[in-house]
C-alpha cells in the first residue's frame, strides 16, 4: 500500500475544481482528509490546492517519519515516483492545446 497516498492524491486532484470557498468548506475538507487518512492507515501526506500562481490551501497530515513522529508539513520533501507521469502527460496536453507542439511531432526535434 506504499503507493496509496499518491493514488489518493491523484484521484482527489481529478475531482477538485476551482470554486469560491468559505472557511466552512475548508474545515469540512480538512476533516474529510483527516478521517480518510486515519481510516486508510496512511502515515502521512501533503495536499496543496493551487489556482494560477496562487496557493489556496497547503497542509501536511500525519507523520513524515513514523519512528521519530516528525510531522508531515507542506515543506516536507517527498519522492513523487510514478505520479510524475501524470504531471508530464498533463503538461504535454497543455502544450498541444496551446498549439505549441503536436502529438505527431518527432521527439528528437
Q: How far is CA 14 from CA 5, 31, 50, in A?
A: 14, 19, 13
pLDDT tops 80 at residue 71: yes
Whole-number pLDDT of residue 101: 94
Residues in contact with 62: Cβ distance below 8 Å, sequence separation at least 6, in sequence order: 37, 42, 43, 44, 45, 71, 72
> How much is the pLDDT for 83?
85
Give per-residue pLDDT as tens, 6-39: 555 655 555 554 555 566 788 898 999 999 999 9
**Distance of alpha carbon 93 from the chain centroid:** 19
Q: What are the residue boundaries of the structural domains of the chain, listed by start?
A: 4-77, 79-109
Determine the Cα–Cα distance for residues 84 and 100; give it in Å rounded to an integer: 21
- What are the phi and psi torsion angles at 84 (to 5°)? -60, -25
Amino acid at each position: 500500500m506504499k503507493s496509496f497516498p499518491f493514488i489518493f492524491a491523484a484521484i482527489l486532484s481529478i475531482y477538485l475544481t476551482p470554486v469560491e470557498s468559505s472557511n466552512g468548506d475548508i474545515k469540512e475538507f480538512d476533516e474529510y482528509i483527516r478521517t480518510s487518512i486515519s481510516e486508510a492507515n496512511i502515515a502521512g501526506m501533503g495536499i496543496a490546492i493551487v489556482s494560477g500562481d496562487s496557493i489556496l490551501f497547503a497542509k501536511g497530515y500525519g507523520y513524515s517519519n513514523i519512528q521519530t513522529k516528525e510531522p508531515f508539513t507542506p515543506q516536507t520533501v517527498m519522492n513523487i515516483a510514478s505520479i510524475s507521469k501524470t504531471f508530464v502527460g498533463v503538461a504535454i496536453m497543455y502544450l498541444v492545446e496551446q498549439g505549441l507542439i503536436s502529438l505527431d511531432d518527432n521527439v528528437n526535434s
